[in-house]
Structure 1
Amino acid sequence: MTTTGTGTAVGALLRTWRVRRGLSQLELAQRADSSSRHLSFIETGRSRPGEELLLRLADRLEVPVRDRNALLVAAGYEPRFRQTPLEDPALDTLREGLERLLAGYEPYPALIVDGAYRVVAANRGVLMLLDGLPEHLLEPPLNAMRITLHPEGLAPRIRNLPEWRGHLLAQMERQLVLGRSEELRALYEEVAAYPHPDPTPEAEPPAPVPYFALPLVIEHDGQLLSFVSSISTFNTPLDVTVAELAIETMLPADPATVKYLRSVGG
């Protein structure tokens, strides 16, 4: 087949994703029930992939839903995945369910962020931790990474800031490998450049606890609280907005944190 501009465009994108995932043409072809010869023709623009094969390749490469639309358009097809604003009535049921989930998790903190860590919703447990932060950090849209790592944000209250900061930056780095978001890269460069304030020495560190995961150890009103974070996303999303939502719940990591949150949370 003669090389076309469309074939060249989608082929180059596919090759970029394949290299990013560290797969050979043979490995990807086998996973997608194709042949390395056909995949080679696609990547060099000598052949245009069928729509279903293209989606299968994207699935095996774990291409984010937003970027699957870009692959489809580059191949001359219509986007397959819609992007519905979260406030759209079509997502009323989803939105109401998420709000019930956050409220049901109280008094423990829980929030929902989008693909650039903008806070979509948060419960009272999160708002409690934000008490006393400067207004300029709390102006919408709130950004979870910015609030956490900014030297005027939660960073001075985090007693294990070097470890927690390293965890958050590594999390963002993994996302940048998986996707091509320029907005996320700009956010990463911003928060990675923040100075590292020393935690306030008002309270003694808690006695060693056999944590089962890296905790967030944070001071609130003179009390040290310890949380382990869990992040949930939607399985097989068919909407870009839904695909990029993440629900983060903060599980108390010690009995003292449980007791304190129950006392202040009613």
Structure 2
Amino acid sequence: MTVKIFDTPEVQDFVKTVAGFDQTGGNDRAKQIVHRLVGDLFKLIDDFDVTEEEYWAAINLLNALGGQTQFGLLSPGLGFDHYLDMRQDAIDAEAKRTGGTPRTIEGPLYVAGAPEAEGFARMDDGSDPDAEVMWLTGQVRDVDGTPIPGAKVEIWHCNSKGGYSFFDPSQDEYNMRRTIYADSEGRYTARSIIPSGYGVPEGAPTDVVLKSLGRHGERPAHIHYFVSAPGHQHLTTQINLAGDPYTF
């Protein structure tokens, strides 16, 4: 199909109306973002000759994603979370804030308010007796290698079946979630169990999107970290467990 209408004055005026440019109320930044977003989508419909059937199939998929609260899963799957990290890396590089542990995405499963401990914490509640015990030890240091006493280390991960507390109703609150304040040498220790890898639910909306791209939704076994201290930049990172088939 050769018919394209996006660049016509009628459509350009219409996009401005949709974005509220002709209204005095609202939020100016929201208007600018919606104008760009709607305009880009309108142009995509033109450029790819999107049919009504394809459009409504996409709407139904978006409804399913929202109904199953899976936008948090799809976001990292489509690279948005990592792109935000890439932008922040570039901002840091421009400001000459380089070195240290690389940042990695937070993911959608962090929960604030985990129990706090000084120096050491046991993270699991003992409800998974067949799981393998894991010890995590580390030292928080600045980019010059100087230990940071009292650094705040927040750690969270899934259980041996791939479920996270608060999202897995079979687990107690804050299971495998702790906040540990490092000792005078910046050291911390945690006892927990080895988490498993996991994937998006088979046949779920996120799975449908990824499979349409020829991709899978599997994650290697991993452990999440927030590390912070006064006067230092907050770090969000993860470690992947060696030996997992999806760890590259």
Q: TM over 0.5, yes or no?
A: no
Shorter-chain TM-score: what band?
A: under 0.3
**Hey, which of these two has a bigger chunk of strand by percent?**
2
TM-score computed with the length of structure 1 as normaliser: 0.22
TM-score computed with the length of structure 2 as normaliser: 0.23
**Hey, which of these two has a bigger chunk of helix by percent?**
1
